Copies of this chain bind each other. A is one copy, B any other.
Amino acid sequence: MPEQAVAGGKENSVETPVESTRERLLNVAEQRFGEGGYEGTSLRAITVAAAANIAAVNYHFGSKEALLRAAVARAMAPVNAERRRRLDQLEASGQPEPEQLIRAFIEPGLDLVLRRGERGAVVARFIGRIAFDPSQRIRELYAAESDPIEARYLSALQTALPQATPDSVAFGYVNMLGLLALHQSQALSRAPGLGDEEDPGKLAENLIAFLVAAFDRGLRS
């Protein structure tokens, strides 16, 4: 077992804690997959950037798709955990408002991930891109990762919006999901300096206000 990250070597004490090959592959994978998509990114491009051998991918993960799956799972874990935590908290304190539910969905996706400097933006773009990859196979791979919470959000939104039909609540939910993914992937910011990227917090507030209005008054009754 080489490279145990001696945790106090001569150099790279905190800045670069000697990531393992496996971690470097995951880091570079989510960066490159987020930039070029799954089909548009080769394993060789990833392994070169990660200073790893081609065979390391199949050794640590088994295949290109398994690498993607591992990267998606790792990237989604904190987002899902935060969403669960907020849902638990909201449900524990009575009937939540629609805005609180929407906020509990959007903020973990934007805030928690965009506020972490360069790496956070990379993770956000990766998630947003994979969620709507051209290949249905890969979209399902992402959907499987966020499915468990989807049902909780749908029923919570339904009770918070009793006048809306179940179909229209589901319609609003997929719109929320889609808009979040689009802003995460930064595919909407065509020209630089649209006024969004400057402040991720402001983007979250704008998006939440947009969705709250749509949920409150834009769904069929």
Contact = CB atoms under 8 A, between A and B. Distances in A.
Contact of A188 (B174, B185, B218): B174
Contacts of A206: 168, 171, 219-220
Interface in A179-199: 179, 182, 185, 187-190, 194-196
A172 B134 contact: no
A9 interface: no
Contacts of A143: 190
Given A177-B188, A210-B214, A210-B219, 14 more contacts: A37-B133, A38-B134, A40-B135, A132-B185, A167-B195, A171-B194, A172-B210, A179-B179, A182-B182, A206-B219, A206-B220, A211-B214, A213-B214, A213-B218
Interface string A139-171: 110010000000000000000000000011011
B188 A178 contact: yes
B217 A213 contact: yes
Closest 6 CB pairs of A and B: A37-B134, A213-B218, A39-B39, A214-B214, A210-B218, A213-B217
A95 interface: no
Contacts of A36: 39, 134-135
A209 interface: yes
